Amino acid sequence: MRLRRWMISLGVPVIAIAVIAYLFTWRWFIPILEQQASAALGRNVAIEDLDVRLGRTTEITLRGVRVDNPEGFQAERPFAQLGTLIALVDVMAYWNERAIVIPSITVDGADVQAIAASKESNNFTFALGGPSGEGAAADPSSGPRIGVLNIRNGRVHVAHAPLRADFNIELETRESANTEPQLLARANGTYADQPLSAELTGGAILSLRETERPWPIDLRIENGPTRARLTGTLRDPLAFAGADLRLELAGPSMGLLMPLTGIPIPQTPRYRVQGQLAYADGRVRFTEMQGQVGNSDLGGSIAVDPKGDRPDVTADLRSRRVDLADLTGFIGGTPGRDAPTRPDAGASGRILPDTPINLPKFEAANVHLRYRAGQIRGRSTPLDNLDVALELVDGVLTLRPLRFGVGRGEIAADITLTPREGDQAHAVADINFRRVDISRLMQAAGSQGGGALSGRARIEGTGRSTAQLLARGNGALTLSTSGGNLSALLVDLSGLRLGSAILSALGMPDRAPIECFVADFALERGTLNTRALFLETDSALISGSGTIRLDQESIDYRIRSAAKRFTIAALPTGVLITGRFGNPSVTPEVLELGVRGGLAAALGLAAGPLAILPTIEFGIGDDPRCNAMLDRIRRPEQDRPRQR
């Protein structure tokens, strides 16, 4: 009886254990795992099957894992589905060190749907939870140590409405007998409404939280006509830190880079630049940059702080030589040599840029830029170099200063552009002309001269483009000089003194000394009205009157000349400059002498130089020579020398 009782008491637990062992399945732990994973990810997680093979290195297999979208997010498919996930866990490492060591994770058949319906609504932002009773920030070193992540048949679909992006990514790791597994990714679709294709070759994803081993990367991107390549290594790929990367960019315009970089850049000609890319102290840095933009070289550095409501960009750029045509996009024109300033220039006859100012671009980032060009190249430009400091903060653009060198002098401007309602901008510009070299101005006009020009200008206006700002602008322009000289041929032709012009053309004399040159213009609602325009040389007193319509881009101007002494073959008439900015006409004021054909041919030589005279406002100075000129102007007509 005692033996029977003992056998029964022993047999019942054994039988119970045997029954439990027979009926046991690891699936009993699925609800626990689902609950823990759902709490950690902040969304529902479901697991179809669980299998465990115990051992020193235990193999855990999950099948049919589904991660749902956030609560309330409308989508046809869940955020992620995994066909199979196999994790190898080093049990002895946990037993000895209380460390979670996972030598490898293999994911087969992952399908991820990353969707952003708006800036505020997406399914890939996780509210990660933590264990119950967790205190402050966890120690990163306490996390699991992962050895190798193997991916097979991975697929990611990205649909991002704010970025106008919809593309698919294929992911896999490729093993090699001589090297560790490489991560391979291919993307195809659209980004910023442009075709997108990309290829990534990366190193093995070993110990993702370790930083001792550089992680190689080779990324190629084609987004529309833009090409980019990123090569090098990362020591901490998850944080994009410890970077030793080379970035190459090329395309038809830097303006197309904004969707890729988040930095607002005006339209430029075709470019190719390269440099070093790094990430430190929360900033992405593009340094040692060098390349070509149109006919201009470009170098320097750019740093971007992506935190905050908008990126903060600091750039220090320079060019040894810059072509002004490459900078036309910064004032709303079409950049590039031989390109019209505006697309309709041929049909409309207008040349002022009318591309609307892109105010959303102004608000896309805060920009702090310094740009210096050692030499300016361009057709007939009088400018020698360029130095500009640009600040774009909260949508307000400030250029202070914008400085151009002209010989031994300079043109310096302070410009502020402030957004207004109705997609308009309010511009205020103050410009100073400081001893601008007249010889450089006259060379640009195809003539000769010397001396220094000084003055100031101010313009204030509101509009949607550069053309509108000028067409609605108010302000003034004054310039003045005393001393120097001009081409004697130019002076003689301006007064239709043909006899003197013939001698001047032969170099007798080739220069006419300037006694004084003064002008004063008022700008009212886009119309430049002459208050005073006088030029006195040793042989003539030249005056100008008329208007320049910036709203219509037209000139209606008269140049008159009075000889200071007897002149052979002088015609008693003035010169009219009329027509559009793009094609002005220079003709005699009176044509009754019957010499229109020959005279027009002679005036053709001076059309270019004369065309710039009415666009310059000369401030009246205190030089005695200028005061003497004003006295002569006030003399009665009969006191002046008669022309013959």
Q: Whole-number mean pLDDT of the chain?
A: 78
Q: What is the pLDDT of residue 502?
A: 36
Tens digit of pLDDT for each residue in 428-486? 999 999 988 877 776 766 656 667 788 899 999 999 888 899 999 999 998 888 666 55
Q: Convert 574-604 to b/e letters by CB count within 10 Å (16 or more is b).
A: bbbbebebeebebbbeeeeeeeeeebeeebe
Residue among 454, 448, 444 nearest 411 (CA)? 454
Indicate the helix (H) or strand (E) that contains 57: strand 57-67
Residue 10 pLDDT level (bands cut at 50, 70, 90): low
Residue among 482, 490, 454 nearest 603 (CA)? 490
Q: What is the pLDDT of residue 24?
A: 61
Name the percent of the chain lying above pLDDT 90: 34
Q: What is the pLDDT of residue 369?
A: 93
Mean pLDDT confidence for 27-39? 89
**Cα distance between residue 72 and residue 294, in whole Å:** 50
Least confident of 174-188, 287-301, 346-360: 346-360
Mean pLDDT confidence for 501-514? 47
Q: Is the pLDDT of residue 301 over 70?
A: yes
Tens digit of pLDDT for each residue in 568-614? 444 455 778 888 887 788 777 654 343 333 334 333 333 333 343 33
Secondary structure (DSSP) of 496-554: TBHHHHHHHHTTTTSEEEEEEEEEEEEEETTEEEEEEEEEEESSEEEEEEEEEETTTTE
Residue among 357, 368, 324 nearest 423 (CA)? 357
Residue 198 pLDDT level (bands cut at 50, 70, 90): very high
Q: What is the pLDDT of residue 544?
A: 84
Q: What is the pLDDT of residue 628?
A: 59
**Cα distance between residue 235 and residue 20, in whole Å:** 50
Residue 359 pLDDT level (bands cut at 50, 70, 90): confident
Q: Is the pLDDT of residue 7 over 80?
A: no
Q: What is the pLDDT of residue 350?
A: 76
Q: Is the pLDDT of residue 323 over 60?
A: yes
Tens digit of pLDDT for each residue in 605-644? 333 333 433 333 333 344 556 655 555 554 544 444 444 3
Residue 342 pLDDT level (bands cut at 50, 70, 90): low
Tens digit of pLDDT for each residue in 519-540? 889 999 999 999 888 877 777 7
Tens digit of pLDDT for each residue in 122-131? 998 886 554 4
Residue 370 pLDDT level (bands cut at 50, 70, 90): very high
* CA-only gyration radius of the chain, Å: 38
Q: Which residues, in sequence order, are bridge partners of residue 292?
A: 272, 297
Residue 12 pLDDT level (bands cut at 50, 70, 90): low
Tens digit of pLDDT for each residue in 132-157? 444 444 454 556 777 778 899 999 99
Contact present, 62 and 52 (Cβ < 8 Å): no
Q: How far is CA 128 from CA 36, 138, 344, 377, in A?
A: 12, 13, 56, 57
Least confident of 250-254, 295-299, 379-383, 562-566: 562-566
Q: Is the pLDDT of residue 422 over 60?
A: yes
Q: What is the pLDDT of residue 511?
A: 56
Q: What is the pLDDT of residue 474?
A: 95
Q: Is the pLDDT of residue 392 over 50?
A: yes
The number of beta carbons lying within 10 Å of the beta carbon of residue 159 is: 18
**Cα distance between residue 201 and residue 233, in whole Å:** 11
Name the percent of the chain lying above pLDDT 70: 71
Q: What is the pTM of this model?
A: 0.74
Which residue has better confidence, 567 or 45?
45
Return the top range by mean pLDDT from 163-172, 258-267, 629-638.
Answer: 163-172
Tens digit of pLDDT for each residue in 93-120? 877 877 888 888 899 999 999 999 988 8
Q: What is the pLDDT of residue 642?
A: 45
Strands 409-420 and 296-305, by their bridges, are unpaired
Residue 186 pLDDT level (bands cut at 50, 70, 90): very high
Mean pLDDT confidence for 199-213? 70
Residue 503 pLDDT level (bands cut at 50, 70, 90): very low
